[in-house]
Structure 1
């Protein structure tokens, strides 16, 4: 693929850099076929330093070089950036937006209704090649475009194609989810400290425990409830802890967090 694919990033921030590094590591593209633009010199320098790519100030230069263009600017700048490159982005370009809350309809309004567009909801663990993303195809995007985006996103984690109507739920679960897990890790570590463990040991144990539990779910394919039951011996320590979680409504709180974040994503998308 590296012999034919050229990728450009409109915006060279942390997520763009993480995606580019993942593409390079997977051999999907080479540095000489990777381009990015950003108005901030520091962002351009960091992107170039970590990827070896060529960077520009203007998105027009990226559109002239890359055939897959990742729209990686903040949502409020998506319209102006797409307006700028509208005449330069032709039929052979695929636009992939990772801007949160910007709908396919809005993207098409600025890029042109004939453009092939894919909307992606990534998450920050893509920075460590452990991302979880959802994506939806625009009206003009082809199944081959979907396959390409799937392959690209899989270089930094996992990705699932869903109808655009479900991207808000992806936002509420995996988009916002890392923050929920960070709070869980912090709370587990605080519990360890309260029970006498040094802070650094408690935090490391908590983070590793979450990592290990997640890997067991992914690698065994078993339902989380079955894995939970296997740990909870009759009358033991784990069932006592689980009782405390149920008593304080942790399960309901996490469900509410996903639902509330999904609802907020819908509100932002509508605005």
Structure 2
């Protein structure tokens, strides 16, 4: 597969995608172009990937098969009519948080297809999880292209756009949730006499091993929980305390609050 990719916006996520594409051989450096508002981000991306900096957004679009929107979400409407015309017939992929397919369609009505993607920060090391949706049924080539691009970040799963709100809570917000767990366990351990740095390493490595076991086993989480829990043992005390203090309700309420905020943000743009 060979295609030319243009990045409008060259922040952390744009650079992560571009670097992954080149590292995995999905895109040759010569086929990668970028442009950014200040020009500094594009220069960094070009230096990091071997790609080139485009003279303008329009020039980038005209010389790309796939255009990736990776700038600040509130700047979507700054796409000019001339640039929108240049997007006609192009596959346009957006990583603009909260921007709906409808809002993208309003800006690029003649694009061949539009793709809305929610990546996450582990994409920076090729361990990301992305969720995505198309504005219309994709051709086999479009689907293959999108999957190839997102595979450079890690794994990717297609969902309906209305499901992106809850998917965002899981894969988009998820890293912050797991970082918070590690942080809190470190603080609890330090309070009880264990070095905080060691505690956080124990927490992180245990989480990684546990999740790899879960993925490899294909089993229900409860089955794996039951293997760890002994009646009236230490793990039993931990889980009982979590339930007694409302952890299941906290998780459900927090997920609901985050979904509501996702919906609110998408409607305000």
Normalising by structure 2, we get a TM-score of 0.93
Contact 1:15 1:72 in 2 (8 A): yes
Q: Deviations over 1:117-176 (max 9, x none)?
A: 111111111112111111111137434312321222122111111111111111122111
Q: Where does residue 76 of structure 1 map in the other structure?
A: 74
Q: Where does residue 206 of structure 1 map in the other structure?
A: 203
Q: Where does residue 145 of structure 1 map in the other structure?
A: 142
Spell out the pairing of 1:179-218 with structure 2 (5 A cutoff): 179-218=176-215
Contact 2:87 2:111 in 1 (8 A): no
- The alignment partner of 2:34 has SS state of strand
Q: Where does residue 129 of structure 1 map in the other structure?
A: 126
Give aligned pairs, total: 268
Contact 1:32 1:54 in 2 (8 A): yes
Instruction: Give how far 1:247 is off.
Output: 1.7
Instruction: Give how far 1:184 is off.
Output: 0.8
Confirm whether residue 266 of structure 1 aligns to residue 263 of structure 2.
yes
Instruction: Give how far 1:238 is off.
Output: 1.1
Normalising by structure 1, we get a TM-score of 0.93
Q: Pick closer, same or farther for the CA change 1:84–1:123 going to 2, 3 Å.
A: farther
Q: Unaligned stretches of 5+ in structure 1?
A: none
Greater Cα offset, 41-50 or 29-38: 41-50
- The alignment partner of 2:86 has SS state of coil
Q: Pick closer, same or farther for the CA change 1:26–1:153 going to 2, 3 Å.
A: same
Q: Deviations over 1:58-83 (max 9, x none)?
A: 22222122211111111111121364
Q: Pick closer, same or farther for the CA change 1:257–1:128 going to 2, 3 Å.
A: farther
Contact 2:117 2:130 in 1 (8 A): yes
Structure 1 distance, partners of 2:257, 2:42, is: 36
- The alignment partner of 2:266 has SS state of helix
Spell out the pairing of 1:75-114 with structure 2 (5 A cutoff): 75-81=73-79, 83=81, 85-91=83-89, 93-113=90-110
Q: Pick closer, same or farther for the CA change 1:231–1:18 going to 2, 3 Å.
A: same
Instruction: Give how far 1:90 is off.
Output: 3.0
